[in-house]
Amino acid sequence: MTRTVKLAALAKLNLGLKVLHKRPDNYHELRTVFQTISLADTIEIAYTPSRFNKFVIESGDDIPNNLIIKAAIAIMEATNAKGDVRFKLTKKIPMGGGLGGGSTDAAAVFLALPALTGRNLPLDKLTELAAGLGSDIPFFLLGGTALGIGRGTELYPLPEMPALNALVVAPHVHVSTPDAYRALKRKLTTDLPFQYISSFQSRVWSLGEQYCENDFQSVVFEQYPHLKSIQRKLTKLGAKPAMLTGSGAALFGVFDSSQAVKVALPAFARERAYPVVFVGRNRYRTMWRRQLKDHVLGEVWPPQSRYAR
């Protein structure tokens, strides 16, 4: 018997991003605040138990997304489940925009596939597998607003933010994340890291009034002046803050109302622009329970399969 689900996989913003020193594992030590937003990809998964594993993406869009397959393999191997797993992916989140598009698709597989196969995994194991595939994936196992430290995979839930209205602008520019880190290298401060952390924390605690900055902005704006002009335009239209997300190339502006977003939208007719709202952790989890409702039991997080023996 085939079990199917249709999932919304939400995008993220970085409301602040500080890049500290390079670590012995070659990743950079980060301080960031992640936020889930309403912009979403759609993933359909069909699982049929069988003696052998088979993974297929039957995507209408011609977009490679190896992370989905890698996530499925990681889950099936870790739980010793077997079967035929088919995906249909409808992309809406621009790739390479700093919006976590590839990461959220992978996280959706980490949350949904155990529910379909009947082999639950505890959250710490899911997080470990997710971090093995990408630094941004574990956040999507949590959702809402969260502080990310270390590689970005060590997460601390922050108080719920209101459902703020924002405009995400994704120019037709692709910023390579490793290149952005390399460009940043010249500007990183290695001294006084503790002072750096405490000043970041104090900004995080005052989130809502005073937002954080994004360290990638100076190097990315230098390379792509057009992005700086989008930031200026967002600010002029009343956005506060208006900033880059991740290493870009997408930017976002937070507005006072959905009406203000509507008024700003036509100014970005030449870019891809998306009105969004911030999605808090409660809404994120309710959404997840609703989309898995035929296959899970109870209110536990992560969702628990009803087929588990």
Binding site for ligand C5P (CB under 6 A): 27-28, 30, 134-136, 151-152, 177-178, 181
| Residue placing its CB nearer to ligand C5P in the complex, 106 or 230 | 106
| Residue placing its CB nearer to ligand C5P in the complex, 136 or 271 | 136
Task: With beta carbons less than 8 A apart as the criterion, state whether 97 and 216 touch.
Answer: no
Residue 181 beta carbon to ligand C5P: minimum distance, rounded to whole angstroms: 4
The catalytic residue positions are 12, 136
Peptide bond into 183 cis (omega under 30): no
Taking the C-alpha atoms of residue 152 and residue 150, their distance in angstroms, rounded to an integer, is 5
Burial class of residue 129, CB neighbours in 10 A (0-12, 13-18, 19+): buried
Residues 6+ apart with CB under 8 A from 225: none
Residue 103 beta carbon to ligand C5P: minimum distance, rounded to whole angstroms: 7
Residue 99 beta carbon to ligand C5P: minimum distance, rounded to whole angstroms: 13
Taking the C-alpha atoms of residue 78 and residue 277, their distance in angstroms, rounded to an integer, is 35
Task: With beta carbons less than 8 A apart as the criterion, state whether 1 and 17 touch.
Answer: no
Looking at residue 293, what DSSP letter applies? T
| Residue placing its CB nearer to ligand C5P in the complex, 64 or 159 | 64
| Residue placing its CB nearer to ligand C5P in the complex, 53 or 177 | 177
**Minimal CA–CA distance to 174: which of 96, 246, 230?**
96
| Residue placing its CB nearer to ligand C5P in the complex, 28 or 91 | 28
Helix axes 177-184, 216-223, angle to 10 degrees: 110
| Residue placing its CB nearer to ligand C5P in the complex, 34 or 181 | 181
Residue 30 beta carbon to ligand C5P: minimum distance, rounded to whole angstroms: 5
Residue 171 beta carbon to ligand C5P: minimum distance, rounded to whole angstroms: 20
Burial class of residue 197, CB neighbours in 10 A (0-12, 13-18, 19+): middle
Residue whose entry in the numeric block shows the structure tokens 């007719």: 269
Task: With beta carbons less than 8 A apart as the criterion, state whether 188 and 21 touch.
Answer: yes
Residue 177 beta carbon to ligand C5P: minimum distance, rounded to whole angstroms: 4
What is the number of the residue whose Cβ is closest to ligand C5P? 135
**Residues in the chain, how many?**
309
